[in-house]
Structure 1
Amino acid sequence: MNVNNKPIAGVIGLVYSACCYGVFLFTCLYLIGFVGSLAVPKNINDGVYMAWPAALSINSALILLFGIQHSVMARKRFKRWLTAIVPAPIERSTYVLLSSLMLAMVFWLWQPMRFNLWQVEAPWAQALLVGLFWLGWGIALVSTFLINHFELFGLKQPLDHWRAVPPQTPTFSTPLFYKRVRHPLYLGFLIAFWATPHMTAGHLLFALGMTVYLFIGARFEERDLVATFGERYRRYQKEVGMILPWTATRKKDPG
C-alpha cells in the first residue's frame, strides 16, 4: 500500500521521527525550567524531603543511568545492533526518544537536597548569573544548528529515506564556535548548569554529575570522530580545546 506513491513505511517513519522530536523538544524545555527553577511543576529543589544519604544515592544513580544510556547508545557497535531491530532511518530518532525518556525519569525521581551553598543577593550579580544561564542555553542551541540540528535529532534521516536521497559521506568542518572549542554544545550545557544565583546541594550534585558525564562522553565521542576523520581530526584535537577553549595543546598552524 502506498501514500502518494511513497511507501507507507516511509510515511510512518516520518511521523515517528516527528513525534520523537516533539518529545525531545518538550524534555529539553523542561530541563531549562528544571535547572533554572522556572515555570515547571517540579524543579531541581522541589519534592518531599528525604534524608540526605538516601537522596544522594538516588540522585547519583539517576545521573549514572542517564550517562550510561546516553553514551552506550551513541556508540557505533550499539547502533549496528539497534539497526537489526529498528529500520536504520529511525535509529537516531529512537536514540533521541529513549534519551529524552531517561531524562524525564531524572526529573520525576530527583530528590531535593536544599542545603544552601550560596545565594547571591546583589541585583547586578543575580542579573549576571541569570544572563550566563541563558547564554549557555543559547550557545547549546546555536551549536546544534552549526552542525546539522535536524540530523542530530533524527529528523533528516527518515526524510532523506522517504525522498530516496542516498546517504552522504560525513564531512569535517569547524563553523563559528567550533573554531574555538571542539564541543561547544557541551560548553553551553556546562555554563547553563553552573550559572545560578541560588546553588543548593542538589543543584551542585546535578551540575557535578553532568560535568563528569559530559567530559567522559566527549572522550568516547572523540574516538568515533578520530575513526571517521583520521589524522585531520587528530590535528584538530591538538589545535582546539575539547570543551574549554584554553586547553588546546598547541596553537593552530598559520594559514
Structure 2
Amino acid sequence: MTQFQSVGQNAAASRFSRVLAFLYGFAAYAAFVVTILYAIGFVMGLPVPKDIDTGQQTSLLEALVVDIALMSLFAVQHSVMARKPFKAWWTQFVPKSIERSTYVLLASLCLMLLFWQWRPLPAIVWQVEDPNAAAAVATVSLLGWTIVLTSTFLINHFELFGLHQVTANLAGRSMPPPRFREPLYYKFVRHPLYLGFIIAFWAAPVMTAGHLLFAAVTTAYIFVGIFLEERDLTELFGEEYRQYKARVSMLIPWRKSN
C-alpha cells in the first residue's frame, strides 16, 4: 500500500466517522423532540398513552418510592453528566463531538423511563371547578412550556441539544468559544427556562397528589440545578457573570437580584 492510499483511506474513515456522529446526534435530537412533546402531554393530561394521573394503581408507599426513584435517576444523570470533571473523564471514551448528544439521549431515555413506570397518585389536592378558570390555568401552563422552548432558541437551541456540535464536526469545523449574552427573557431573569418549567408544572386546573409530588420534587431539583449551573457559569465567564447576577433576578422578573 502506498502512502497516498493510506492517507486516502484515513480520510475516508474520518469522513465516515463524522457522518456516523452526525446521524447519532440527529437521532439523539429526534429523541429529545419526541420526549419534550410527550412531557407536555404527560404533565398537562393531554391525549397521550399515559399521563401523570393514569397507569398502574399501587400502594401509596410503592408509588412514592418508585416515583421519587425515577425523578432521582433523572436528576443524577442530568446534573452529574453536565459537570466539567465528568465531561473531562467521559470524553476519554466518547468523542467530544457527540458528548452533548449522548447527554441529551440519556436524559431523554431517563424521562421515557419515568413516563413508562410512573405510578399515579390520583387523590385530588385541588380542582378548579369553573370551566373558564380551568381553561385559563391550563393556558398558563401552556405559556410555561412556551417559555421553556423559546428560551432554548434565545440562547442556542441546537448547541444546547447537541446538533450544532455534530453538524460542525461533519463540516470539519471547530465549535466557536462560548460567549456571554443576555437575549430577551434573560434581561429579566437569569433562568427563564427553569421559570417556564415551574409555571408549567404548577399551573394545573386539577392538582392530584402525584402531580403535586412531581411538581415539588422537580422544583427542588431546579434550585439545585441553578446552584450548580451558576457555579459553572461564574467559573466560565468570571466577573461578567458576577455582575449579571448582581443586576438580574434569578427567577422572578423585576425582583431585586437574589
* Residue 140 (structure 1) aligned to one of 134, 148, 157: 148
Partner of 2:129: 121
Give the 5 Å matches for 1:14-163: 14-163=22-171
Percent of aligned pairs with the same amino acid: 52
Q: Give the TM-score normalised by structure 1.
A: 0.94
Match of 1:215 in 2: 223
What one-letter code is carried by the residue in structure 2 that aligns with 1:143?
A: S
Matched, 1:198 2:220: no
Partner of 1:253: none
Question: How far did 1:243 drift?
Answer: 2.1
Deviation for aligned residue 1:3: 9.3
Q: Aligned pair in 2 of structure 1 residues 87, 35: CA closer, same or farther (>3 Å)?
A: same
Output one character per residue of 1:137-162: Cα deviation in whole Å (capped at 9) or x when no partner.
Answer: 11011100000000000000111122
Matched, 1:169 2:215: no
Q: Quick one: which amino acid aligns to residue 93 of structure 2?
A: I
Q: List runs of 5+ in structure 1 lacking aligned partners.
A: 251-255
Contact 1:2 1:8 in 2 (8 A): no
- Deviation track 1:169-201 (CA, whole Å, cap 9, x = no partner) reads 111110000000111111111111111101000
Partner SS, residue 7 of structure 1: helix
- Number of positions where the alignment pairs a residue of Structure 1 with one of Structure 2: 250
* Larger Rg, first or second structure (1 or 2): 2
Change (3 A) 1:243 1:162: same
- Paired AA for residue 16 in structure 2: I
1:5/1:64 Cα in 2 relative to 1: closer, same or farther (>3 Å)? Answer: closer
Structure 2 CA distance for aligned equivalents of residues 221 and 83 of structure 1: 20
Using the alignment, how far apart are the partners of 1:248 and 1:94 within structure 2? 38
Question: For the Cα contact (< 8 Å) 1:242–1:248, is it kept in 2?
Answer: no
Stretches of structure 2 lacking an aligned partner (at least 5 in a row) = 1-8
Superposition TM-score, scaled by structure 2 size: 0.93
Shift of 1:61: 1.5
Q: CA deviation at 1:124?
A: 2.1
SS class of match (2:174): coil
Does residue 235 of the first structure (1) align with residue 243 of the second (2)?
Answer: yes
1:88 partner amino acid: K
Counterpart CA distance in 1 for 2:66 and 2:221 is: 17
Q: Cα deviation per residue 1:191-224 (whole Å; 9 max; x = unaligned)?
A: 1111110100000000001100111011101111
Give 1:94 shift: 0.1
2:23 corresponds to which letter in structure 1? V
The separation in 2 between residues aligned to 1:247 and 1:105, in whole angstroms, is 37
Q: Deviations over 1:88-107 (max 9, x none)?
A: 00000000000000011111
Distance 2:233 2:174 in 1: 22
Task: After TM superposition, give the deviation of residue 6 of structure 1 in Å.
Answer: 6.7
Moved more, 201-210 or 50-59: 50-59
Match of 2:195 in 1: 187
Distance 1:61 1:248 in 2: 36
> Residues of 1 paired with 2:135 and 2:78: CA distance?
33
SS in 1 for 2:207: strand
**What letter corresponds to residue 20 of structure 2 in structure 1?**
I
CA contact under 8 A between 2:250 and 2:257: conserved in structure 1?
no
Measured on the aligned residues, the alpha-carbon RMSD in Å equals 1.6
- Give, in angstroms, the shift of residue 5 of structure 1: 9.9
